[in-house]
A and B are shown apart, each in its own frame.
Chain A
C-alpha cells in the first residue's frame, strides 16, 4: 500500500506545484529566490526521505548482498536479480501476480461499472443501500475475509454445498487445494473486495456528469447501451484511472489474502511476489534475495501505473 500512497501523493502533488509556479511568476515581485520554497518543503522532505526513500535505497542496496539479516553480508552483485528471473518459483510468482490483474482490475471494474450504472437508475434510498452493501467488503480486514473465504471454499464449505444442491456435485472440489482453480478462487476474493470501491468511485463520478448530456443523447435517439458508451464512460474517465491504478497495485502487491488462504499452495501454484518476499526475508533469512524481488516488483508496478497515468490523462 505504500507504493499506492506514493503514487497518489505524486499525482496530486504534481499539479498544484505547477499551478503555484505559474502564480509566482505572474506576481513577479514576491519572488524570493529558489531557496524559500525549499524551506517549506524541507520538513516533509525530511520525513519522506527518512521513512520512504531511505528504506527504498536500503532495499536496493541489500539486493546486491547475500545477507541473513544479522551476520556478515557478502557482495554478490546481480546474482539475486538473476535468480528472480531464472528460478521457476520466482517467475511463477510474478506471472501469478499478472493473472490476478484480470480478477482484481478488469472484473471488478467491469462489474463496478455495471453496478454503478444500475444504481444511478435507482431512487436514492435504494442506491445508498446497495452502495453500502457492495462497499462492505472494503471494511472487513482482509485477513478475516481470507479466513472466511477459506471456509466457504473448503470441501464441505458453502460453495460446494450450493453446487451439490443444484445438482453440480461433480464440479465440487476442495477449491484451494486444486492446482487449476486455487488461483481463480483467490482472484474472486479480490473481485469481491474491490467491486465496492470501484462502484463507489464510479458512482461518484457519474453524479458529476451533466444531466443535460443524457437528455441530449436521448433526443438523438440513443438507447441505454449507446448512452453508456457515449456519455457515461467518457464522463468517468478520471475515476476509471483511479480505479485501475488502485486495483492494479492491489493485484500486484497482494499478500494478506494469499498468506491466510493458501500460503502459496498447492505446490506453489498460488504463490505471489508479496508472500514470496515475506518467506525469503523471514523464513529463509535471505534478505538480499527478498530485496531484489521487492525491487523488481516495485519496478513492475511503476512500469504499469506510470504509463497508465499518461494514457488516461484527460486532455483539455
Chain B
C-alpha cells in the first residue's frame, strides 16, 4: 500500500513537472511563433525601406537564385534556366522540387523559414498573402509594366485589402497560363461522324450518345483523384450566375456555392453518369491512368487542360484535337477554367530584384516564350503586342493556343473551383463528386454540403 501511494505521489510530481515545462509555452498559438515574427519583422522594413526601392537592372555580381518547383515540371525550367544563364552568365540557379501535393501542404512552412527560396510554385495564394508570407509584387508590376498585360488570369492572383481575391495587389505570376477544354480522338470522331468543333452542349451530348451506341466510352476520365471537378465546372461555366461562382472562388463576403447553377450542373453530371458516358469503375480510375488510356486510343473525349498538349504531341502526334467546352448556344462566349501556373516570391526571399527580372524575362524574351509554349503547351502570357510563339505544324498545342486566345477574347477565364480554398477539393468537393456520380447524393445536397464545408474551413 505504501508503495502505491509513493508511486502515485511520484507520478503526480512527474505530471506537475511536465505540465510546468509545457505551460511555459502556453500563449495562444501563432501569436509568438518564430515563423510569424520573422516574416513580419522582415516584411515591415521591406515596406518602409526608403533607400533602394526596386530595381529593374540585373546586377553584374554573381548570384545564385533558389527555386522551389513542382516535380514533373522541371524540364521546362531546365531549358529556361539554361537559356537565362546563357544570356546572363552571372546568374546561376539552385533547384529543389517536390510533388504538387507535398508542395501545396508544405509551401507555407518552407516560405516562412529564414532560408526561403527566391521563387516558389504555389497554387493557393490567398491565405498566405493575408499572413504576410508572399511578397506584394505591385512595385515590380509598376516598374516593369506588368499591369499593361492582359489581366484576365492575373486578376486571380490579385488580393485586395479585405483579403478577397480578384482585384487589388499582385501576389504571383504565371510561368505558362493554362486553359481547359475538350480533347478528342480525331480518328474516332471522324468514324462516328462527329462534327468538330462541337458547338453546343446539346451537340456534345448527341455526339456522346453516338459514341455510346457504337460501343465506345464517350468520356475517358477517372474520378479516383477527384478529376470530375473539371466536367462539373465546365458545365456550370456555361450557366447563369458565373459572377457568383467567381465570388465564391475568390472568397468574397457572403458568397455561396448553393446556387441554382451548381444544382443544375451537378444534376447534368449525374445524368451523364446514369447514361453511361463515363467509364465503368469511374471512381477507381486515377488521372494518370485515364490520360494513359486516352492516349492509347480508349474513349472519344477527354476533359482536361492544355498541360496535356505537350505529352499528347510527343506520344501520339496528330491523333488528338482540342476545342473549348461548348456553351448552351453556338454563339455563347467561350468560358473556361483558365489560370496561371502560379509562382510566388516569398517575403523572406533574398534576391527579389533578380527574381523579378527573371519573371519579366520569362514573359517577354522570345526564346523563353517559345520554351514555355513547347514544354507546357500553355500560352506564355506577357504583353499582348508580342508575337505569340508558334508550335510545330499539326500539333495539338496550336489548338490549345487557339482556344486560350478565344477564351481571352471572350473574357471567359475563370479560376478552378478547387482553388477556392486549400482543402475544398480533397476534403469535400472530391468525395462528394464520388457520391454524386454514383447516385448516392442528390444535386441539392451536393451544392449545400460543399457550401457548408467551405464555411467550416474558412471559419465563417
Contacts and interface: CB of A to CB of B under 8 A. Distances in A.
B17 A45 contact: yes
Interface size class of B (residues with CB under 8 A): 35 or more
B29 A266 contact: no
Contacts of B6: 21
Given A65-B29, A69-B108, A284-B427, A154 B284 contact: yes
A284 B284 contact: no
Given A18-B7, A282-B105, A70 B112 contact: yes
B95 to A, nearest CB: 24
Contact of B431 (A18, A45, A65, A264): A264
Contacts, number: 141
A68 to B, nearest CB: 6
B3 A62 contact: no
Contact of A267 (B3, B108, B435): B435
Contacts of A67: 28-30
Contact of B21 (A18, A21, A54): A54
Contacts of A177: 224, 281-284
B127 A54 contact: no
A49 B21 contact: yes
Contacts of B70: none
A263 interface: yes
A25 B6 CA distance: 12
Interface stretch (B140-148, B170-178, B335-343, B418-426): B418-426
Contacts of B35: 70
A30 interface: no
A27 to B, nearest CB: 15
Contacts of B25: 54, 58
A34 B12 CA distance: 14
B30 A279 contact: no
Interface residues of A, number: 52
A265 B431 contact: yes
A50 B106 CA distance: 24
A186 to B, nearest CB: 14
B422 A285 contact: yes
Contact of B133 (A54, A66, A70, A282): A70
Contacts of A279: 423, 426-427
B459 interface: yes
A263 B457 CA distance: 19
A73 interface: yes
Contact of A66 (B13, B21, B440, B459): B459
Given A53-B21, A68-B127, A71-B130, A266 B283 contact: yes
B51 interface: no
A17 B7 contact: yes
A73 B18 CA distance: 24
Interface string A261-303: 0011111100000000001101111110000000000000000
Contact of A71 (B23, B30, B105, B432): B30
A265 B224 contact: yes
Given A45-B14, A69-B108, A282-B105, A267 B7 contact: no
A268 B26 CA distance: 35
Residue from the set B10, B21, B283, B457 with the largest chain A CB neighbour count within 10 Å: B283
B288 to A, nearest CB: 12
Nearest to A45: B14
A25 B456 CA distance: 59
A179 interface: yes
Nearest to A88: B449
Nearest to B19: A57
A75 B30 CA distance: 12
B451 interface: no
A309 interface: no
Contacts of A41: 14
A176 interface: yes
A284 B421 contact: yes
Contacts of B104: 283
A251 B29 CA distance: 31
A17 B456 CA distance: 48
Contacts of A207: none
Contacts of B26: 61
B422 A284 contact: yes
A54 to B, nearest CB: 5
Residue from the set B29, B130, B225 with the largest chain A CB neighbour count within 10 Å: B29
Contacts of A174: 280-281, 283-284
A183 to B, nearest CB: 14
Interface in B414-442: 421-423, 426-427, 430-432, 434-435, 438, 440-441
A176 B315 CA distance: 30
Nearest to A262: B224
Given A266-B434, A287-B29, A49 B22 contact: yes
A100 B225 CA distance: 23
A37 B284 CA distance: 59
Given A265-B224, A284-B423, 14 more contacts: A58-B29, A67-B30, A69-B30, A70-B131, A154-B284, A177-B283, A264-B431, A267-B283, A268-B431, A268-B435, A283-B422, A283-B427, A284-B422, A284-B457
Instruction: List 9 A-B pairs, minimum CB-CB distance, nearest first.
Output: A284-B423, A177-B284, A174-B284, A174-B281, A57-B22, A267-B435, A177-B283, A283-B423, A282-B105
23 contacts: A34-B10, A37-B10, A45-B17, A49-B17, A49-B18, A58-B25, A58-B29, A62-B29, A65-B28, A68-B30, A68-B127, A70-B112, A70-B133, A71-B36, A72-B30, A73-B30, A154-B284, A266-B435, A279-B423, A280-B427, A284-B422, A285-B108, A287-B29
